[in-house]
Amino acid sequence: MSLIAQTIHLSLGRKEILHGADFRAEAGQFTAIVGPNGSGKTTLMRALTGELPCRGEVTLNGHKIAKTPPETLARIRGVLPQATALSFPFTVAEVVRLGSQARGPEADTLILRALERVDLGGFAGRYYQQLSGGEQQRVQLARVLVQVWQPLGEEGPRWLFLDEPVSSLDIAHQLTVMRLAADYARRGGGVVAVMHDLNLTAMFADRIALVTAGLVVAQGTPAEVLTNQRLSEAYGCALAVNTVPAEGIWILPHAAA
């Protein structure tokens, strides 16, 4: 089962952001979307999930997104946006429960398991607004996770769409989230994530789509996409893969498994 987007055009106001972008992701793989600021990564994600209407066609597990009822989409894909604001004093458990399709004791157990997965065991009764930004981000991930807890269901593979899932996290929790996403893919689900950190992307992603100026200009394995020339052209600065400058201190995580 696949996620396939063909010739996607999408405008916000009078400005066209995506100019005929093509994209493909497979279940059982972690696919990362990378590119410079303003290149259209998040807009592409919102087109892939059906949040924004677009010209072209997006299909998920054979379903045309534009013609699929929201309740059907909710059963096969969970979406983590860049940021989520809550105006009312919900507890952590109440926020996570918003994503659960289970009820009663089953939902209670699932909520606790999801919080453990994102390293927030014992946080269920705390108020969401009292948490740090990174903790809130992991609560929202737990909410999405309970929505599509099993990577494989009666409808086929389920999908996680994650927009900058590690942006507010320390290194240890970045690794926690990336391992969680990679494990979901290994167990048969599909993962599509907008990423800024190219090192984490190279460590964990099976496939990478490089977005520049509203187009997917390269898609393939990390070794195929993350080249000196492609990255330097896309980001507008000199970048070298696997080359550490002679001066300075560089700290990179060394544990992808």
Write the DSSP assignment of 176-210 as a string of letters: HHHHHHHHHHHTT-EEEEE---HHHHHHH-SEEEE
Q: Is residue 97 part of a domain?
A: no
Residue 255: pLDDT band with limits 50, 70, 90: low
Average pLDDT over residues 130-143: 96
C-alpha distances in Å from residue 196, one per residue of 59, 208, 248: 26, 12, 22
Instruction: Specify the CATH number for the domain of residue 34.
Output: 3.40.50.300
Sequence-ordered list of residues with C-beta below 8 angstroms from that of 166, at least 6 positions apart, any chain: 173, 174, 177, 178, 195, 197, 200
Residue 237 pLDDT more than 80?
Answer: yes
Sequence-ordered list of residues with C-beta below 8 angstroms from that of 192, at least 6 positions apart, any chain: 3, 25, 31, 32, 33, 45, 48, 159, 160, 161, 162
Which SS3 state, helix, strand or coil, does residue 38 take? coil
- Give 185-215 pLDDT, tens digit per residue: 999 999 999 999 999 999 999 999 999 999 9
Give the residue numbers spanning the domain of 12.
2-83+150-235
User: Which of 110-124, 134-148, 230-244 is predicted with the least confidence, judged by mean pLDDT?
Assistant: 230-244
Q: Is residue 133 part of a domain?
A: no
Is the CB of residue 175 less than 8 Å from the CB of residue 160?
A: no
Predicted local confidence at residue 249, as pLDDT: 84
Total number of domains in the chain: 1
- Predicted model pTM: 0.94
DSSP code of residue 63? E
What value does the CA radius of gyration of the chain take, rounded to a whole number of Å? 18
The separation between CA 127 and the C-alpha centre of its own chain, rounded to angstroms, equals 25
